[in-house]
Amino acid sequence: MDRSQIITIYRKDLKEILTLATVKYSFIFFPLIFLFIMLFIILLTHNALLANNQLTDIAKLRFFSYMATNYLIFFGIIPLSLASTISSYSIVGEKTQRTIEPILATPIEDSEFFIGKMLAPFIPTMIATYIVAIFYTLFVDYLSLSFGGLVFPNLVWYVIILIFIPFSTILMILLTLIFSSRALDPRSAQQFSAIIIVPLLVVFIMSMTQYAITSFMVVLMSVLIIIFDIIVYRIALRIFNREIIVSRWR
């Protein structure tokens, strides 16, 4: 595998993404709005605990830690939403612009093309997510000092931020790219990206509302997601069909 080919595709895609004003601003404003909502929620939680005179500081810290850790899973919504929009257009965009055939005529391999296409939505969305997550982490720790301790980083934080969210994002990008490569028109690709995010969001919300997120649970979920990533990547490469891409586009 030639890394320079992957980087060439990635850089081109990133540049293309950033020339679209709507995408550029959604990269700034969506995470920013999300951050303010999260900071507001955690601040409300903190203030409610602070006003409670029946709990000891240790109990308050424990409850605050439980809530702040559970909220972490919501940070997956940022990359999932941003990346799904970009990756749904990724290969369809090459077809619409009729640049796919000249690309496939170059010595690029399918895997290099696919990974380059994956990185283009992945890296910027993860950067945006990490910036927001860092602010959240610092804010939570600042608030938790009033209960006499620090919440983050803990094991769940590491697993969710460094493993679960990135690999969930990769899974979502892979699924969207598969559909994008096989879509026969741009509209169906966009519809698919809107649909695919729903089950993933349901998983996020369920995990938030039903159970306390334990380190065992996130490790297990992360391992499953990584296994899914590997399987879906292999399927994606196997069904990436140059012939369908160049000859069946409407």
Partner 1 sequence: MIEIQNLKKVFEGVTAIEDISLKISKGEVFVLLGPNGAGKTTTIRILTCIIKPTGGIAYIDGMSIFDESKRIRKISGLLTENPGFYERFNAVDNLRFFSKLYGMDENIIDEDIKEYLEIFHLWERRYEPVGNFSKGMKQKLALVRALIHDPEYIYLDEPTASLDPETSKIVRDFIRELKSRGKTVILSTHNLTEAEYLADHIGVLNTRIVAMGTPEDLKSRIFGKRVVIEFQGDADKAKAIMEELRVVYQLERGKVIILNPGIKNSVIVGKMVENGLDVDYVYEERHSLEEIYLRLVSNHG
Residues at the contact surface with partner 1, assessed by CB under 8 A: 2, 4-5, 8-9, 12, 15-16, 19-20, 97-109, 242-243, 246-247
d(Cα 26, Cα 79) in Å, to the nearest integer? 11
Shortest Cβ 33–partner 1 spacing (Å) = 27
Shortest Cβ 56–partner 1 spacing (Å) = 60
Shortest Cβ 245–partner 1 spacing (Å) = 9
Indicate the residue among 228 and 249 with the shorter CB distance to partner 1: 249
Indicate the residue among 20 and 212 with the shorter CB distance to partner 1: 20
Shortest Cβ 224–partner 1 spacing (Å) = 35
How many alpha carbons fall within 13 Å on the CB side of residue 16?
18
51 near 193, Cβ under 8 Å? no
Indicate the residue among 94 and 229 with the shorter CB distance to partner 1: 94
Best CA proximity match to 180, nearest among 98, 240, 247, 124: 240
Indicate the residue among 145 and 244 with the shorter CB distance to partner 1: 244
Write out the DSSP string of 91-132. Answer: HHHHHHTT-HHHHHTSS--HHHHHHHHHHHHHHHHHHHHHHH
Shortest Cβ 14–partner 1 spacing (Å) = 12
Indicate the residue among 100 and 156 with the shorter CB distance to partner 1: 100
d(Cα 42, Cα 36) in Å, to the nearest integer? 10
134 near 193, Cβ under 8 Å? no
Structure tokens at 162: 């460094």
d(Cα 236, Cα 238) in Å, to the nearest integer? 5
